[in-house]
Amino acid sequence: MKWSLVARNVCDLVSPPRVVKPEIQPLTIEQAQQLLKYARGHRLETLLTVAVTTGMRRGEILALRWADIDVQRGSLQVRRTVDFIAKHGYVETEPKTASGKRQIALPPFVVEMLKSHRIQQLEQRLKVGEAWQESDLVFTGLEGGYLNPRYLVKLFSRLLTEAGLPHIRFHDLRHSAATLLLSMGVEMKVIREILGHSNIGMTADVYSHVSLAMQKTAMDKWNTALKNEDGEEDNEEDDDGAGGVLAIK
């Protein structure tokens, strides 16, 4: 079209299929606690804890390096993502948007878990010996290379079954992090920065159902604030005889 080699774009005649978004299935706080309880001692314990608390994408977690973690400040940097592509192997790329490159603060208990995970990784390195692939990756395969995404999903699915939890996608841990942060009263702007969304509208759109539920909970409190014991609005006149003044309790 730009080069005037064709008179029209035939793609304009096509009706694209309707994009169906997968249903979000975030974990409740009780389910998240159950998952991490059953993950204790499991090779995915630290990885899943990072996923639940930071909302990082699978590819971001698998591309995370020790150089990206600042133990003293208690934070990490998201700089890259990785995926396995058939016939190409593992392919590292930068996050899709500038906001995808971000710094995330870590809870103190997660920092301690990462320290312990580092020691376990060094022990595994000694056990493997010369076969170890030095990559500086935080979460690796048994010989230091990338942890296969499909194998990760397989282990995750098996752990969900053992914990008696509903089957969810690994990506739902990202949704779980955002949902739980919202329920704890964390501002939408802060959650946007943690997730790396390009704008707050995206965050608000994805988690509108959560914020609406929170609004309803807040609005229900008006019943306590503006209703008397009989469930009727308190319209008692004040001492000057002026009516219509609500007595807020």
SS3 227: strand
pLDDT in the model for residue 246: 41
Predicted pLDDT at 249: 39
Contact 173, 24 (CB under 8 A): no
Return the residue matching tokens 């059953």.
Answer: 38
* pLDDT confidence band for 229 (50 / 70 / 90): low
193 Cβ neighbours under 8 A, 6+ residues apart:
99, 102
CATH number for the domain formed by residue range(s) 24-200: 1.10.443.10
Among 108, 104, 107, CA closest to 69: 104
Rounded Cα gap, residues 18 and 21, in angstroms: 10
- Whether 81 and 93 have beta carbons less than 8 Å apart is answered as yes
Q: How far is Cα 173 from Cα 166, in angstroms, rounded to an integer? A: 13
Q: Which pTM does this prediction carry?
A: 0.78
Taking residues 206-233, report their average pLDDT: 70
- The answer to whether the CB of 58 falls within 8 A of the CB of 156 is no
- How is the chain split into domains, by residue range? 24-200
CA distance 231 to 217: 18
Tens digit of pLDDT for each residue in 24-60? Answer: 788 999 999 999 999 999 999 999 999 999 999 999 9
Q: pLDDT, tens digit, for every residue of 83-99?
A: 999 889 999 999 888 88
Q: How far is CA 194 from the centre of its chain?
A: 8
